[in-house]
Amino acid sequence: MSLRIGVDLGGTNLRVALVQEDGKIIRDLERKTEAEKGPEYIIGMMVEMIRDIKGREFVKGVGIGCPGPLDPRTGVIYNPPNLPGWNSIPLASMLEKSLSEQVRVDNDANAAALAEAKFGAGVGAESVYYITVSTGIGGGFVLDGSLFQGATGYAGEIGNMIILPGGPTHNSLNAGALESLASGTAIGMAGRKAGIAEGAEEVFRLASIGDITAQGIINDAINYLSIGIANLVHSVNPSIFVLGGGVMKAESQVLDPLKEKVKSYVYPRLRDTITIVPASLGSKAGVIGAAFLIN
């Protein structure tokens, strides 16, 4: 069975894995990214970890999932907010030179989408729309087992979709963008405005014990997310939506009301065709999917 290497580069952790063709991880390594040390240090650590994982094995190549913005066609990283100093870093070409392996780079949400479509909650579906709701909101669209990237590689990035014109701003996103309304960060910010200082996790905890203010914040976020999903139902009509990310740790508080809200925003004849399920691969999705960025 052929092998490939996947790399999940995050602002907090760096994970590298040797992955079989069936998606099974043979061995993996994880270290703190130490993002403040900059790209040269992190890339050096990445090369070392890849060589350790590879050993004497023959691999098809190395796939890397990392935060955007980036260009998946050139493998250049353009200053992600959680990777300071990564301004126009040609990561793919740098690693190809160091490793003498084929290297592909793509958005971390796309990598997770590919993993869930091939080996996770989306197995068997013709088209899978993966959405991660965590610190931010990202997405990836997999059609017939392949990522649909669009003309410039930005297809699937729903975090900047305008849901509430003139709404709140967040980072460099549009005012009223989905991420500024329904992400874990947005829920935490709404909580702080309401006097709940501990962030999104505390908002969910308070809602679970009947706090009306906290439940109202969650209801708003679910409503905004359901509008975003309904827009996707009408525009690309995927076979299944797979939801991952930290907010889905509160699945019991989110999933059922989200499904009902989405149904209320779509054509009546579409309501019984919508499938929304939780992701199944957890933290492994990014590194597994990255490995399959290599064709």
Provide φ and ψ at 6, rounded to 5°: -115, 140
Using CA of residue 81, residue 83, residue 87, residue 91, what is the dihedral sign? negative
Q: Is the pLDDT of residue 238 over 90?
A: yes
How far apart (Å, rounded) are the C-alpha atoms in residues 279 and 81? 25
pLDDT band at 153; cut points 50, 70, 90: confident
Q: Is the pLDDT of residue 170 over 90?
A: no
Q: Is the pLDDT of residue 32 over 90?
A: yes
Provide φ and ψ at 62, rounded to 5°: -125, 125
What pLDDT is stored for residue 81 in this prediction? 84
pLDDT tens digits, one per residue of 65-114: 999 889 999 999 998 888 999 999 999 999 999 999 999 999 999 999 99
**What's the mean pLDDT when you consider all of the chain?**
95
| CA 100 and chain centroid, separation | 28
Using CA of residue 85, residue 39, residue 6, residue 147, what is the dihedral sign? positive
What pLDDT is stored for residue 154 in this prediction? 86
pLDDT tens digits, one per residue of 183-208: 999 999 999 999 999 999 999 999 99
* Rounded percentage of the chain residues whose pLDDT exceeds 90: 87
What pLDDT is stored for residue 171 in this prediction? 75
Q: 64-68, 136-140, 170-174: which has the minimum mean pLDDT?
A: 170-174
pLDDT band at 247; cut points 50, 70, 90: confident
Supply the pTM of this predicted model.
Answer: 0.94
